[in-house]
Structure 1
């Protein structure tokens, strides 16, 4: 947990940025933090943005949806995708209070008010991240 940062205690808006998957991972493989966080904090909303959606107005819309609510940004391997790094930094310039969950291999310095690195994107990693965000772990 990041010292001095309060856990998420009310329904959040979760933006999960989707990237292409490899042959080793089926596109239908479940991943993310939104579902587990919504189980802990009912009323939590989730949306997914890919490169096209993020660059075509999806990111400002997502940030608007999160007004007055905690914002959780979920990425996988952000350092490997230029569009994703740019979207993450753009979101954080508008919402420096956002919580960031890195579900792939973390790269670079941690960003966000709280940064959680799971080193994987399996459902159990998503559940663990949700529990860390809410102060249960």
Structure 2
């Protein structure tokens, strides 16, 4: 009887872990897709002013989403720490885009490349900073609502 219960418990855990793993992948993939759509929008914009506005609004929206999630009491301390680091990276990219806080302003001719750089930076942060699946999904949901 113990073997049967142990076997059923193992099967139940396997059934729980696989959807959780899929959810983690889905949340992170959704964030990557959102960032990719911003890059495509920047690249299709006709003027440098439009490109800069798109990038600024996207970075501001992501920082707002991070702030909203960070204010939730259900977010773990680990996620709050990682979200803080993610927000700092986003803030640095915005400051560099605009030439504030000691950064040199990105030139108009480099905005497409800069959008791709931001995308790579976010994707790299996604592998370096561990943000839970729920938090990643919340970021995407809030971005869609903004």
Structure showing the higher helix proportion among its residues = 2
TM-score, normalisation: structure 2: 0.28
Whose strand proportion is higher, 1 or 2?
A: 1
The structure, 1 or 2, with the larger RCO (C-alpha pairs under 8 Å, 6+ apart) is 2
- TM-score, normalised via structure 1 length: 0.30
